[in-house]
Amino acid sequence: MCPIFDFIQIIYKRVFYMVCLVFLGFAAISCEPEYQTSNSDLSFDRDTLVLDTTFAYLGSPTNSRLRLNNSSKHPTEGVVLRLAGGAGSIYTINVNGESGTYFDDLSVRGKDSLFVFVQIKPFEFPTSIDNGVHLLTDSIIIESGPYVRKVVLSTPIIHADIKSGHVSDEIWESNRYILVTEDAIIPANHQLTVEPGCNVNFRANAGLIVEGSLVVNGECGSPVLFRGHRHDYLTSSVPYTKVPDQWKGIWLKSGSQNNLLNHSVVRNASIGIQVGEQGKEGSDLELNNCRLLYNGEANVIGYNAQISMFNCVLSNSIDQVRLFGGGVDMVHTTIANYNEWNQGKRGFALYLADKDEDELEYAFAASNISNSIIYGWNAEELFFSSEDIPDFFTLENSIVRTDYFPKSTTNTNPQFRSLDRYKYDFRLTKSSPAIDAGGDRDDHRQEYDVLCHLRDFKPDIGAYEYVDEEGYGVNVDFLELEWMYF
């Protein structure tokens, strides 16, 4: 064959192959999908977000989370996220680590989501707004092309009176909210009066220090509350109302006199109430229809103190009552030594010592415990630092978990209604040995129990007179009674 013809044939094949490759390349490019986005497939994971109650002065202590979902397989770009209230909103939102009230040019990948965190900013109510709880709202709006979505924000906000420093001869009025931001101090020869329904909240490291007198006039159905300032939840099932060590507590200093708490709740402190000071002269305290719960180290500590307790309930601390000298008069009181905090550390229901940790000595005075329940986890719930201390105590018609006083007390299970963690209920079951076992009523303060039920003429031992469920009304959940547990 002619060599020239062979050469032309080779060139033709190569050119043909190159043309084919170019054609296939263009074909491949033309088959690639066109880049697409979606605007209509964004939605929030809920329609309304309700944040936990908080104080306007403080803002929210934690943030709440929303999820913005893209249900399309295509990304969404150019998204605008904003608060309807704009820069004047009480809310702030955080997206991708940045806080503000307006975000634009956001993107959400296909089949992915974007987290939006919401908080309350500290702010001040206008002076024309009443003290109390106000429901404030706003909304988060998302704009994606022509499509608009929104989620409603709603929060109960407390407008409170702010207190710190000296509070000489003040009256904290009925049904007002008080926020104590630093120690509030009642000077010597002055008195703080707290009226029914007042709700006193303390920040961490704040307390109420009494050098003069404290008079708390709570009433049946309208108690006064002393508590930590957190109104949210530690976990999904544990509210901060059941968490100790959130504030210092109430301290009645040496020489403080005529201190009275009626129908009051003291909770969430490190020490509920301390009466007196180490190595100094005592102070006095009268507690009527009071509940001291979830205080860390102890519900009551006394140094040379004279303490009276009528119709009181104490529980959920390491030690419930810790006394160094002094005397106590306890009638129709329930001391339940149960505590799920502090790594389950168990103290005593009643700890009585004539020396403190610094070896300072204290003397006891004549003391009486009657118609009361002192019970708990321990096989022995009374602690005496010396053998002489029991001689100062007279016990009558009481249920006490102790081997002391065998002739005047009953060491038997009082049969509380519930010992479930965080759901304690120290009312009596209908088979309780405490029913009708109390002594005669000889003081007008014994006429009603801690829940304001009339005692009959064969009173029950402890703070609670037995009442069946119908006595609390139809469909009433005792554990959710706000005035009882807050």
CB 459 within 8 A of CB 446: yes
The CB-side HSE value for 399 (13 A sphere, CA atoms) comes to: 25
The CB-side HSE value for 213 (13 A sphere, CA atoms) comes to: 14
On the question of pLDDT at 19 being above 50, the answer is no
| Secondary structure of residue 444 in the 3-state scheme | helix
- The residues spanned by each domain of the chain are 42-157, 161-485
Amino acid identity of 379? A
On the question of pLDDT at 301 being above 80, the answer is yes
* Mean pLDDT to the nearest integer, 166-184: 97
Interatomic CA distance for residues 436 and 351, integer angstroms: 28
On the question of pLDDT at 381 being above 80, the answer is yes
Cα 183 → chain centroid: 20
- Predicted confidence at residue 18, as pLDDT, reads 59
* pTM recorded for the entire structure: 0.88
pLDDT tens for 52-76 read 999 999 999 999 999 999 998 989 8
- Predicted confidence at residue 385, as pLDDT, reads 96
Residue 222: how many other CB atoms lie within 10 Å: 15
On the question of pLDDT at 40 being above 80, the answer is no
Look at 43 and 303; give whichever has higher pLDDT. Answer: 303
- Predicted confidence at residue 442, as pLDDT, reads 79
On the question of pLDDT at 430 being above 90, the answer is yes
Name the CATH superfamily, with its identifier, for domain 42-157.
Answer: Subtilisin-like superfamily (2.60.40.1710)
Confidence of residue 224 (pLDDT cuts 50, 70, 90): very high
Interatomic CA distance for residues 115 and 82, integer angstroms: 14
| Secondary structure of residue 17 in the 3-state scheme | helix
Confidence of residue 38 (pLDDT cuts 50, 70, 90): low
CB 47 within 8 A of CB 67: no
- Predicted confidence at residue 185, as pLDDT, reads 99
Interatomic CA distance for residues 467 and 482, integer angstroms: 19
Q: Give the per-residue SS3 of 95-135.
A: ECCEEECEEEEEEECCCCEEEEEEEECCCCCCCCCCCEEEE
Residue 116: how many other CB atoms lie within 10 Å: 24
* Mean pLDDT to the nearest integer, 436-452: 89
Q: Point out the least confidently predicted range of 4-8, 128-132, 387-391.
A: 4-8
CB 133 within 8 A of CB 158: yes
Q: Residues 251-287, buried b or exposed e (16+ Cβ, 10 A)?
A: bbbbebeebbbbbbbbbbbbbbbbbbbeeeebbbbbb
- Average pLDDT score, the chain: 89
Look at 92 and 145; give whichever has higher pLDDT. Answer: 92
* Mean pLDDT to the nearest integer, 399-403: 96
On the question of pLDDT at 472 being above 70, the answer is no
Determine what percent of the chain is predicted with pLDDT higher than 90.
Answer: 78
- CA angle 438–443–446, rounded 5-degree value: 55
